[in-house]
Structure 1
């Protein structure tokens, strides 16, 4: 290509010079005129000579410009060709190999902060300063949530479970320990394989391993000539250091994803986490995609993908795991949901509840793990739960010594032991062939079931095409439906996203208000002050406990209409604008929080969700008959529902949970059912003394009143003089000053 460009330049130069000679020859009459007329004016001679020189110089400069331009064009063309061939050779760095493309800023060539899903991008996340975060724990109104925390180390998830940190599936650790342990005891992926037909050239790698993190490449000190890195890493080792995997984290409002491009093995690994939405069971969903980004050779890969340590279900285990973990292992076991015919439905449970008491409580519930390949959801993958098979005698869990001495196939076909020890949970695939550009996705579900008999039913539910993709979309839609209340469009997209995120955070602490009791069309325009059948119920609220604020004992009920208790101040300050976004709430929050004031002016520490009370037994019987039916065959269900409604205070989530336990089937939709129950009930607020009194939040009351009056300015007289409020009667009280203080000498 360079030779052709050079030949073209020479031809053009010859052509231009020939034209210039002809051009100069066309002025020969002037030259002849100068020779014949020696007596002509010297000025005329000078002008003609200057004209010839100017013309010659002009043509010479023009030729030089053409030659220079064509030479630069030739060099540029050569550079483009070299770049194309280099790009083909390093297919792992091509944009087609990346799942998420960066949107480059043309002005300064810097990567943008967010991807196409609005998720924050953290490049080389595992070598950046540590931070912790959490999935929102929102599964929709008719879903059962779990909790999950993650950090920017290892494969992200640091702990998760149900209800509270006392019921972990992966043990809860404070932030400082989570940063250290996540890459060891958390989710891990081990890959073995070979290229083409070269079985003799096998490799083993662990995506997102800290052994291949870019610590030295990120350090400014490492670039100094005097640094230890410069003195130690030289030659080939320095070149290999520059080929360390490229890693990114995508932090979304409802999900989190990590991505790694392994330049050495031409493998791209992506892992996505989200909470399952709108289902009768709770689950953390994990999608692990392994892609062959080599342009020429097929990849035959075997993989172990899952948790290095999975805790069983068996009561409140958080403190026991930390204080007597070795003793606790004596109760641990792994059962199988398919009666032991395979290892595709492991069930992690305690044999009995570990307690020093005369009575023995046999544990029925357990934790499950179900996995399949996304393109083949009907066939569950085998689970390797025997930790010794994977790690051998390496109790540090640094390396999969067992796998290094064996194979995935041998583990699948061999015997496993899961009793009296902490087990693992690895989905296994063996000799899966990936053509260039092809990928395989392992879909895994981790959750809790109340009985081992529920596991096959859950497996049937998730075994449908694109189930995980649909649920991911549902999870994102639920969060968007919350933040749509503050949809903001300005010239600053970062500000718009900040507004949504802050509203989501406040909603998770104060709760999202729902209006229940809409049983007639003409009620949709009424507020709760105008129609006593309407009730306000807050969902998705919880106390702000996380890895950093480990002193708070959060609770997220794994029920429909999920919520948890919160501190008085936190709940109150995050409900101050409820009436602005939901005018039908009216004065509900004002009356609720003013009713928590004690006679001495103090208020309790903890606020819980309101409860519903069906007014009398006759109404409860009418509701049970209406929603179950009057047939003889459903008498047991009708009686059971009657006793549930007539037994005292109950919340919507508890109501549906009891109906599931007693196999009560209703003949209307869940929405119609709960609206009718709410309309026929009265509500009662609930507060707890818990650990003390507060009396410094009176300004929040004023904020509540101001917000109400901004929407209902004509309701001031009604609110101040027409509403009767009860006092909160606490089991504890503050002693008068005369009893607390005495004079001393």
Structure 2
């Protein structure tokens, strides 16, 4: 049975996957100099059900209405596969394909982050996943941190494979993918594999028009371990799932090792790519192995290549996580309340945050002559339960649409 409670700054749901389904979203606030994303989640699977940049026409994970997300997120959302030495079966935390009474699952919802955790006594493992949006950068990214801890009494050797079964390359519109997804595979490709940071985009514009234009923007996938070592992802889903197109079980990973998958030749064109990061670890009791992943959008992959050493740092992720948390905290300090009911105090902050996201937070922009009021952080309405609305999450005031999204001609309906 599910239990709900408020603990410090987090709303906690125990056994969240058994609770009544609901959908929500991260606020999409990246600061004055940041590039926001839209990110939706549900209390099923590993939470995140879709995300992307600007609007529905630029998804990284396909947008689906709430009722479909509840059904599909366990297969098409983020996945984690673990093989333990001496055990032939693949263990998948947070999976819901078969009942698992031994798994204890918890979801923590904060103002600007989402955390899920599964503790499995029989496996002797605790798996924790946290998400937040990267603030204060000139590119957009969703940060995912996955930690596996040995809570047993003996040393465990394991192989961890973590990531996304499907990543929609930039240039694939959400509605088009739903209608003619098989056709759109013909434009898909993954570049930059030699640098270990896949860059997902279409080769050219996909509209049925006389003029064909080149697409230079793209989505990227960057992973590293707790030591700051870059992990080269697998981008061909068939190397992991084989012929199991249901994506329910990773047939080839079950039959082989991470090393063998990493050495196999991928086919990164004319198919829907994936992004999975592999890690082998030997954990003493109490030890933890961690994989950090940034999945986002950039107008020039060279920018990420040049900064890869700086980005591949647990300290950098920790600092950005604190910055993201402080950002929403500072914005809601306007209504900071201290009563005998902490849950009411946090409710006041959250209500204020939800309301100024509808119309924007007033910011006085000094143009050298007279101040002008700019409404920041406004996100045009829309979420998985209001799928009829064409939502919009615009860039920060220092990054115009033309600089961040050149050639992106779609506009929300009037």
TM-score between the two structures when normalised by the length of structure 2: 0.94
Alpha-carbon separation, structure 2, partners of 1:301 and 1:157: 25
Structure 1, residues 348-386: CA drift from partner, whole Å, max 9, x if none?
Answer: 111111111111111111111000012x22x21020111
Q: Would you say 1:383 and 2:230 are equivalent positions?
A: no
CA contact (8 A) 2:358 2:381 kept: yes
DSSP-derived class of the 2:210 partner:
coil
**Hey, what's the Cα distance between the residues in 2 that align with 1:262 and 1:656?**
48
Shift of 1:211: 3.3
Higher helix share: 1
Q: Distance in 1 between matches of 2:120 and 2:33?
A: 41
Shift of 1:212: 4.9
Question: Does the 8 Å contact 1:127/1:213 carry over to 2?
Answer: no
**What are the equivalent positions in structure 2 for 1:259-338 lying under 5 Å apart?**
259-295=117-153, 297-314=154-171, 317-336=173-192
Name the structure 2 match of 1:364.
Answer: 216
Given that 2:29 and 2:36 are in contact with CA atoms closer than 8 Å, whether structure 1 keeps it comes out as yes
Structure 1 pair 655–247 and aligned structure 2 pair: CA distance change class (3 A): closer
Correspondence for 2:260: 410
CA RMSD of aligned residues (A): 2.2
Residues 515 and 461 of structure 1: is their aligned pair in 2 closer, same or farther, counting only changes over 3 Å? same
Corresponding residue number in structure 2 for 1:542: 379
The secondary structure found in structure 1 opposite 2:190 is: strand
Paired residue secondary structure (2:140): coil
Q: Does structure 2 retain, via aligned residues, the 8 Å contact 1:364–1:452?
A: no
1:341 aligns with 2:165: no
In structure 2, what is the equivalent of residue 208 of structure 1? 94
Deviations 1:537-561 (A, max 9, x none): 110012220000011111112x322
| 2:360 pairs with 1:517 | no
Give the C-alpha shift of residue 460 in structure 1: 3.3
**Alpha-carbon distance, 1:115 to partner:** 2.9
- Residue from 475, 494, 498 that aligns with 2:343: 494
Distance, in Å, in 2 between the alignment partners of 1:556 and 1:406 is: 42
Q: Is residue 2:341 matched to residue 1:504? A: no
Q: Give me the whole-angstrom Cα distance separating, in 2, the residues matched to 1:112 and 1:304.
A: 31
Runs of 4+ in 1 over 6 A off after TM superposition: none
CA distance in 2, matches of 1:486, 1:341: 50
Counterpart of 2:82 (choices 184, 188, 191) is 191
Following the alignment from structure 1 to structure 2, what is the Cα–Cα distance between the partners of residues 286 and 386?
20
Q: Does 1:560 align with 2:410?
A: no
Change (3 A) 1:208 1:111: closer
**Residue 126 (structure 1) shift:** 0.7
Structure 1: runs of 5 or more not aligned: 1-109, 195-199, 215-240, 520-531, 562-651, 662-687, 692-745
Residue of structure 1 equivalent to 2:370: 533
Q: 1:328–1:354: 8 Å Cα contact kept in structure 2?
A: yes
Decide whether the 8 Å contact of 1:560 with 1:656 is kept in 2: no
Residues 183 and 209, structure 1, Cα contact 8 Å, conserved in 2: yes
Question: Aligned residues, how many?
Answer: 409
Q: Structure 1, residues 423-465: CA drift from partner, whole Å, max 9, x if none?
A: 11001112x1111100011110001121332330242341335
Partner of 1:56: none
Contact 2:239-2:264 at 8 Å conserved across structures: no
Question: By percentage of residues, which structure has more strand?
Answer: 2
C-alpha distance 111-184 of structure 1, shift in aligned 2 (>3 A): closer
Q: Which has the larger radius of gyration?
A: 1
User: Residues of 2 paired with 1:201 and 1:371: CA distance?
Assistant: 27
Assess, with a 3 A threshold, how the Cα gap between structure 1 residues 458 and 318 changes in structure 2: closer, same or farther: farther
Distance 1:150 1:304 in 2: 22
Matching residue within 393, 408, 417 for 2:243: 393
Q: Give the deviation of 1:203 after TM superposition.
A: 4.5
Determine helix, strand or coil for the equivalent of 1:211.
Answer: coil
Aligned equivalents of 2:412 and 2:116: distance in 1? 43
**Preserved contact between residue 213 and residue 245 of structure 1 (Cα < 8 Å):** no
Residue 437 of structure 1 corresponds to 286
CA distance in 1, matches of 2:314, 2:84: 28
The separation in 1 between residues aligned to 2:273 and 2:241, in whole angstroms, is: 11
Distance 1:689 1:370, change over 3 A: closer
Q: Would the alpha carbon gap of residues 390 and 655 (structure 1) be closer, same or farther in structure 2, given more than 3 Å must change?
A: closer
Look up the match of 1:483.
332
Q: Greater RCO between the two (CA within 8 Å, min separation 6)? A: 2
